[in-house]
Amino acid sequence: MVDSNPFPVPPPRGRRSRWWGDVIFHGITLAGALTLAGFLVLLVYILYQGSELAFQTFGYHFLVSSRVPAWDATEGQEFYSIAPFIIDTLITSTIALAIALPVALGSSLFLTQLAPQFIPRVLRKTAGQVVDLLAAIPSIIYGFWGLEVLVPIMRTSVEPGLYKYLGWTGAFGGPENGLDIFTASIVLSIMIIPTIAAISRESLAAVPVHQREAALSLGATEWEAARFAVVPYARSGIFGGTILGLGRALGETMAVLLLIGGGLSAPTSLFSTGNTVASQIASAYGENSGKLELSSLIAAGLVLLTITFLVNIAARAILWRYQRQTGIGRE
């Protein structure tokens, strides 16, 4: 039977207000999402426009040249390359992540899986809050702490020992002055531990208790229960926290600037001085010699942003492949 009324019947009065509420809510959230996307597009456009002169002048040499010095602002023969700074950025971030991830994951597993057995909830909560507060410390404070506390220890004790026993590897050679890539990497690792630990702890706490209890009831050890029954179900959150920590390490500026030594050539060992892309931008921006150097600094920022995007895309691809193969963590 065909409805003779061509006009839709409006919803009842009570439901009509809720319907308008949904429309407004959807509009606000959509506007927020589009605004964020617009900011990102605008940021990339501004960086691209500002870096055009540098890429036109140096071409691919800006990214791959090994010329020394890499950043020569001499009038009449200006040359700028960020290849050494990209290498330093990747080295410091990789070492920082290698140190921070086991510490952050270990502390998260302890607070969520082991500590509830013998530590009161108040103390566990306080310990977690202390770890989280480390993320609120400004990076310049970490830099000062590194200069006053860590650098003397590295110079007099740690680096001489590493050179004595591991110098044959080539990774720990050169002058042992404490202001180098290795020291900057250690401070970076301390800075990203709270970020990884906080997100990993929340992800592990969200795993159903019966997962661990079932593994223990079948005869698994504490280690086996954590490895096979808990961590796989929290892998997405742990992976996300790790990528956030890596992102902070890639873009960290002031602490690295104070501790890395300020070298302008490719590193030959972990005791070499250097500059990350972010620290080079910070150190040279206020003293740039003209349009070409300014454009090169903006181009360095664009490259750093691109590296961050690529790292995130690669991480999401790896996680997606794992979830597709195992079925764990898929929604």
pLDDT at 326: 64
Cβ-count burial of 15 within 10 angstroms (0-12 exposed, 13-18 middle, 19+ buried)?
exposed
Cα distances (angstroms) measured from residue 164 to each of 159, 170, 171, 173, 234: 8, 11, 12, 9, 41
- At 2 the pLDDT is 52
Closest C-alpha among 84, 135, 165, 125 to residue 252: 135
Q: For 74-100, write each residue's pLDDT tens digit.
A: 877 889 999 999 999 999 999 999 999
User: Is residue 17 predicted with pLDDT exceeding 70?
Assistant: no
Q: What is the pLDDT of residue 148?
A: 94
What 8-state DSSP symbol labels residue 261? B
In the numeric block, the tokens 């140190």 are attached to: 99
Contacts of 111 (CB under 8 A, 6+ apart): 124, 127, 128, 201
The pLDDT of residue 11: 56
DSSP string, 159-218: HHHHHHHHGGGSTT-S---S-SHHHHHHHHHHHHHHHHHHHHHHHHHTS-HHHHHHHHHT
Least confident of 27-31, 75-79, 260-264: 75-79
- pLDDT reading at 155 higher than 70: yes
Task: Decide if pLDDT at 257 tops 90.
Answer: yes
Q: 134: how many CB neighbours lie within 10 A of its CB?
A: 16
- Output the six-digit token pair for 326: 């195992």
Domain positions in the chain are: 84-288
Alpha carbon separation from 221 to 83, 217, 224, 255 (Å, rounded): 48, 10, 5, 41
Q: What's the CATH class of domain 84-288? A: mainly alpha
